[in-house]
Amino acid sequence: MNKNLFLLTASNVFGFTAANVTVFLSGIIGAQLSSIKSLSTLPPSIYIVGIAISTIFAAKVMSIIGRRLGFVLASIASTVASLMAAYSIILGNFFIFCFACFILGAGMAFIHQYRFAAAESVEKEQAPRAISILLLAGIVSAFIGISLANYTKNFIPNYLYAGSYLTLAFLTLMPAIFLAFFKEKSETISKQDKQISTRTYIQFISDPRFLQALTAASFAYVVMAFLMTATPISMHIIHKLSLDKLGIVMQFHVLAMFLPSLITGTLIKKYGFSKMMYLGVFFYVLTIITSFLDPSFISYLLGLIFLGIGWNFLFVTATSLLVTTYTPDEKFKAQGFNDLVVFSFTAISSLFAGILISLTSWKSVNLFCIPFLILIIASILNADLRKTEKN
């Protein structure tokens, strides 16, 4: 744990609360502000669209002005967006709220780059461990964000949830303070790296290991975001389970997303990338199986816990594999392209989640995820077979 990794981890505790609060509340607030039922999940979907659209922009900006200034400006932008969200709730304006969610998503595109900055702060063989340490901050983030958002939801009388976003404005400002002390790492780029750095996006995808990392990360996020977006609507609005129970389910889901990080780095080192990805797919299958149970607090709790564990194994492993597939001179291009694909697919899935859950059922939404798991398995098999043929 060096200084940069500590600052990134501390910043992730507060910065990632934007994701937790958005997933927890924005769909419910969307239903509150919009008279059209199918548009209730538009705010969390717009949030993910904001991430997708801003990924290349975030990588490009930081390649010019550096990670430190990029992270600080993103933190300030997220604070402004949180204040805008609170104001939109007071006005009762659905469109301003959606715009605020979009800006929060743009800020999150920078926060998602924390994991690459963490990997760069240590030796390459320690990257999985550094990424795991960073993601552990998500445990604290989940309990701080969701608990404070729930506790302060009535802070402004007659404007439910406006206080939650005022609280979020304070939380998202904290990374700007921490990362003001972040120190940029200078890298020496060899002539050989510079010659390879002209690779196009097609050439990146042609690398079976890069494609494996990209596919696993993309569809790990697609399945997770698809089910997370549908959960508040299915639990609270359709099946009438209380907001407190929803909060517990979401907190334990986020706990399951990040707590395995204590061992994920070690498991990757011991068993390798492919086996860990298969394990992640196995937990996603368990999630789908729980959807066949009666829709109760326990079934949602179990399903979302399995979902979180599966996401951790897939996403941490995919990120750890990705950083081994490019040269230092290619990092911003490769990272930006990876996140663009990951969050573009995630945005599309999130947009469809609200429509599908309103037209079908929780079980159908889960079954819809099976093709994505097949694609992950296919990418692993392809990379392993290509490696065997090469040897």
Q: What is the pLDDT along the chain (391 residues), one digit of tens a residue?
A: 689 999 999 999 999 999 989 988 888 898 889 877 667 778 988 898 899 899 989 999 998 999 999 999 999 999 999 999 999 999 999 999 999 999 999 999 999 999 999 988 888 788 888 988 898 887 888 789 888 998 999 999 889 999 999 999 999 999 999 999 999 876 544 444 444 456 888 999 999 999 999 999 999 999 998 898 888 888 888 888 887 888 889 888 988 988 898 899 899 989 999 999 999 999 999 999 999 998 899 999 999 999 999 999 999 999 999 999 998 888 889 998 999 999 888 878 877 887 788 788 899 999 999 999 999 999 999 999 987 776 5
The full set of domain ranges for the chain reads: 3-178+203-390
**Residue that the structure tokens 């909060």 belong to:** 247
Cβ neighbors of 126 (< 8 A, separation 6 or more) are none
- CATH no. for 3-178+203-390: 1.20.1250.20
Q: What is the pLDDT of residue 195?
A: 46
| Amino acid present at 300 | Y
> How far is CA 383 from each of CA 27, 44, 274, 318, 380, rounded to the nearest angstrom?
38, 34, 9, 13, 5
CB-count burial class (<10 Å; 0-12, 13-18, 19+) for 174: middle
Report the alpha-carbon distance of residue 229 to residue 231 in Å, rounded. 6
Report the alpha-carbon distance of residue 29 to residue 127 in Å, rounded. 38
DSSP letter for 123, please. Answer: -
Q: What is the pLDDT of residue 198?
A: 66
Encoded tokens for 247:
């909060």
Half-sphere exposure of 352 (CA within 13 A, CB side): 14
Report the alpha-carbon distance of residue 257 to residue 265 in Å, rounded. 14
Is-contact 115 131, C-beta < 8 A? Answer: yes
Q: What is the pLDDT of residue 391?
A: 56
Of the candidates 372, 359, 5, 43, the residue with the CA atom closest to the CA atom of residue 229: 43
**DSSP per-residue codes, 152-169:** TTTSSTTSTTHHHHHHHH
> How far is CA 331 from each of CA 16, 108, 159, 208, 355, rounded to the nearest angstrom?
23, 19, 45, 18, 37
Encoded tokens for 8:
């990134």
